[in-house]
Amino acid sequence: MGISDELVERLRAAEHVAVLTGAGVSAESGVPTFRDAQTGLWANYDPAELATPQAFLRNPRLVWDWYAYRRQTVEAAQPNEAHYALVDLEQHYSDFTLITQNIDSLHWRAGSRDLLELHGNISRVRCFECATYAPGWDEEGELPPRCARCGGLLRPDVVWFGEGLPDQALRLAYEAAQRSQVFLSVGTSAIVQPAASLPLIARRSGAYLIEINVEETSLSVFADCWLQDQAGTVLPELVRRVIRDIQSREEGA
């Protein structure tokens, strides 16, 4: 697995830690990653094509149905060991920021609270016209449902390609990356901007950069350490080495 003593020491000594997660963290919960081949009736669609305002305006029903299908998958999924290990890390550090590109609520359901959702959340729905949030909607009537306030079409509260990210979440993410002493990039192909710039900003600001991914990415060459294994395997081991070992030593002292 390649968790070096230096890596453990860096994490033990750190006070400011930030983590960026991508779809790879939810893969072990059975949620297909963005680059996994789409299956079933979605096999012929390219996610990057569907996740755009143009696609929604061109075919609102198709895009609405795609998110309804993904919402069902996400709601049926459970957080995995990677999500829970990140909760342990959050509770261990006084300054810990979890920045996620994922829209699936699994970090929140696992117990993460110092959480920044850069790309929104599939469980929330808002009006395409007036941006009013819809607390609920009728899946049996006209789809996409319409806004109670202005009659506009409702859409998932996610960031589509070509749309800006939520200002505050992005600002806080930049700040967390800049002050981090250790930055972990976990389960992301590090392609989508501006999220993919966060690990590099951290590195440039002096952070020790750890990448956890089953495959090499464009970030790997910049990482101080690339742990080529599943997030659900590596993160619990990191918690054991960084937190549990200290606790057992203190208890034994």
- Name the site residues for ligand BV8 (rule: CB under 6 A): 22-24, 27-28, 33-35, 48, 51, 101, 103, 119, 158-164, 187-189, 191-193, 212-215, 217, 230-231
State the binding partner of 207 from ligand BV8, Zn ion, none, CB within 5 to 8 A by kind.
none
Rounded to 10 degrees, what is the CA torsion of 84, 90, 92, 96? 150
| Catalytic positions, written as ranges | 119
Q: How many residues does this entry show for the chain? A: 253
**Token pair 């690990």: residue:** 199
Smallest separation, CB 67 to Zn ion (Å): 18
129 lines the binding site for Zn ion (CB under 5 A) = yes
CB of 49 to ligand BV8, least distance (A): 11
- Please choose, out of 152-160, 183-191, 209-217, 218-226, the segment that lies near Zn ion by the rule CB under 5 A: 152-160
Phi, psi torsion values for 108, nearest 5 degrees: -60, -45
Say how far apart CA 17 and CA 186 lie, in whole Å: 13
Q: How far is the CB of 128 from Zn ion (least distance, A)?
A: 8
Q: Under rule CB under 5 A, how many of the chain's residues touch Zn ion? A: 8
Own/partner pairs, 40-46, CB within 8 angstroms, 24+ separation: 42/66, 42/69
Residues 10, 183: contact at Cβ < 8 Å? no
Binding partner of residue 34 among Zn ion, ligand BV8, none, CB under 5 to 8 Å per kind?
Answer: ligand BV8
